[in-house]
Amino acid sequence: MKIHEFQAKEILRQAGVAVPRSIVAKTPEEASAAYTELGGSIAVVKAQIHAGGRGKGTVKDNADQRGVQLVKSAEEAAAVAKGLLGKELVTIQTGPEGKVVNQVLVEEGCDIKRELYLGIVLDRAAKLPVLMMSSEGGTEIEEVAAHTPEKIFKEHFNPALGPQSFQIRKLCKKLDISGPAARSAEKFIKGLCKVYVETDCALAEINPLVITGDGGMIALDCKMTFDENAMFRHKDIAELRDLSEEEPAEVRAGNTGLSYVKLDGNIGCLVNGAGLAMSTMDIIKLHGGEPANFLDVGGGANVDQVTEAFSILLDDKNVKAVLVNIFGGIMRCTTIANALLEAYKKLDFNVPLVVRLEGTEVEQGRQLLADSGIDIIIADGLTDAAKKVVATVA
């Protein structure tokens, strides 16, 4: 689960981790008032969307309007906010369609002496969270990893204990951080790691992490994502979810108990089991097709869920054919066949449908489909299914 920058910074602020003063604005007038309230000579107006690269991002139809912009007056803050609010901001992470900016963050200026990168993720191989720091603040960490990996320094830490002081000193030495800045690093890093563990973060990223003129350390930006499976422990964080930033079909699927991720292809996939769904997408691509989605109906899907799954697939205007790939282990093939036929009757099914069934009661399930009188393409095996569905959209 993703949250906005201003929400992440509020979590850090409450935990005692240093962040700049800032105010959220949803209108140009609110942005102007926010600048005045902050009281400095400069401020930054930042688009709030669930995507990185906002500083280099531009508004559609207005390449001069950046997603993050320095302002020096209340009037300028209002003008920048007007140029962002309600507009589509295109960044390296949004794709060409961009994301609509519904709110901006007006943040006080900062005395920047140096910019660093700081991130925490789970290292699944080590089974520990890993703290990563780099001198390349303000640059996407993927670029640093690709071109100058030697500039990324890592320290794993025990989540129950947090990073130890000697580990932070090692990182400071490698990054040439000393004096007051090193003392600030101790408090900042330990505080951030504590937040990461206690809130069940999947990612906590500060980019850039700024060292100020007086040696303080402050989060100039903050990105946090959370383990959705742990949100029952964090009702306050779960309430920060912004559904307007998410793909509507994915939200709709989640409300029905389906696992769905929209992709860019034209072959819809309805599969039971995450591993089988991944294999299905792979074999479609192997035979020259492009999957339109990942959709796992799970092992116990009922008629309503299958109907909703088909409805979600058919509402995607890019979908030109649908492949149903079911392995009947927990779910019997007769159950999925009956659910499929019921769904077909309820929906306007205007694209080719290829079905591959295997497992418990497979012969009976195939016979139900064959006797239905519905125009369904039956496949014998996964390779045959992939070839047939790709052929329908060729």
Total count of domains within the chain: 3
Same domain as 65, residue 189 = no
Please give the C-alpha separations between residue 131 and each of 61, 117, 194, 288, in angstroms, as whole numbers: 40, 11, 12, 41
What is the share, in percent, of the chain residues with pLDDT greater than 70? 99
- Residue 314 included in any domain: yes
**Coil, strand or helix at 167:** helix
Mean pLDDT of the chain: 92
> Within its chain, how far is the Cα of 360 from the centroid?
37
Q: Are residues 377 and 252 in the same domain?
A: yes
Check whether residue 42 and residue 94 sit in a common domain.
Answer: yes
Query: Would you say 207 is a known binding-site residue?
Result: yes
pTM of the full predicted structure?
0.79
12: amino acid identity, one letter: L
Residues 6+ apart with CB under 8 A from 56: 66, 67, 91, 92
350-374 burial, b at 16+ Cβ within 10 Å, e below that, comes to ebbbbbbbbbbbbeebbebbeeeee
Domain that holds residue 175: 112-239
Q: Please name the residue ranges forming H helices in the chain.
A: 5-14, 28-38, 74-84, 141-147, 165-174, 180-198, 235-238, 248-255, 274-286, 303-315, 333-346, 362-370, 382-393
φ/ψ of residue 84, rounded to 5:
-105, -45
Which pLDDT score is estimated for 187? Answer: 95
Query: Does 358 fall in a domain?
Result: yes
pLDDT at residue 243 in the model: 83
Question: 164 and 270: one domain?
Answer: no
The residues with which 99 forms a beta bridge, in sequence order, are: 89
Residue 145 confidence class, pLDDT cut points 50, 70, 90:
confident
Q: Is 53 annotated as a binding residue?
A: yes
Whichever domain contains 38, its CATH number is: 3.30.1490.20
Considering the domain architecture, whether residues 144 and 211 belong to the same structural domain is answered as: yes
330 is in an annotated binding site: yes
In angstroms, the CA 249 to CA 268 distance is 13
* Residue among 5, 30, 76, 117 flagged as catalytic: 117
**Do the annotations mark residue 110 as ligand-binding?**
yes
Neighbours of 300 (CB within 10 A): 11
Residue 64 among known ligand-binding residues: no
- Annotated catalytic residue 117: yes
> Is 344 one of the annotated active-site residues of the chain?
no
Q: Are 65 and 87 in contact (CB under 8 A)?
A: yes
Q: CA geometry: angle at 191 spanning 186 and 194, to 5°?
A: 125
Three-state DSSP state, 123? strand
Secondary structure tally for the chain: helices H, strands E = 13, 20
| pLDDT attached to residue 301 | 67
CATH assignment of the domain containing 156: 3.30.470.20
Please pick, among 108, 155, 205, 308, the residue that the annotation labels catalytic: 205
Instruction: Dump pLDDT digits (tens) for 14-64.
Output: 999 999 999 999 999 999 999 999 998 999 999 999 988 898 899 998 989
- The answer to whether residue 296 is domain-embedded is yes
Q: Coil, helix or strand for 63?
A: strand
- C-alpha span between 159 and 37 (Å, rounded): 39
User: From the CA atom positions of the chain, what is the Rg in Å?
Assistant: 25
pLDDT at 272 over 90: no
Whether residue 273 has pLDDT greater than 90:
no
Clarify whether residues 143 and 100 are in a common domain: no
145 and 182 share one domain? yes
Secondary structure (3-state) at 109: coil
Task: Between 86 and 330, name the one with better pLDDT.
Answer: 86
> Does 4 map to a domain?
no
Residues 174 and 61 reside in one and the same domain: no
The reply to whether 46 sits in an annotated binding site is yes
> Helix, strand, coil: what percent of the chain each, to 5?
40, 25, 35
Contact 312, 295 (CB under 8 A): yes
Handedness of CA 260, 261, 267, 271 (dihedral sign): negative
Q: Is 54 annotated as a binding residue?
A: yes
The number of C-alpha atoms within 13 Å of 281 and in the hemisphere containing its C-beta is 21
**332: nearest Cα among 353, 372, 301, 370:** 301
Are residue 295 and residue 362 in the same domain, yes or no? yes
**Per-residue pLDDT tens for 340-350?**
888 888 887 88
Q: Enter the tokens of residue 120.
A: 């925490």
55 is an annotated ligand-binding site residue: yes
- DSSP string computed for 364-380: HHHHHHHTT-S--EE-S
Contact present, 209 and 137 (Cβ < 8 Å)? yes
How many Å separate Cα 172 from the centre of its chain?
31
| CA separation, residue 206 to residues 46, 110, 115, 145, 221 (Å) | 15, 15, 10, 16, 6
Whether residue 321 sits in one domain with residue 381:
yes
Whether 263 shows a pLDDT value over 70: the answer reads yes
**Is 325 marked as a binding-site residue?**
no
Question: What is the per-residue pLDDT for 240?
Answer: 94
Residues 318 and 367 in one domain: yes
Q: Which residues pair with 89 in a beta bridge?
A: 59, 99
Q: Is the pLDDT of residue 175 over 90?
A: yes
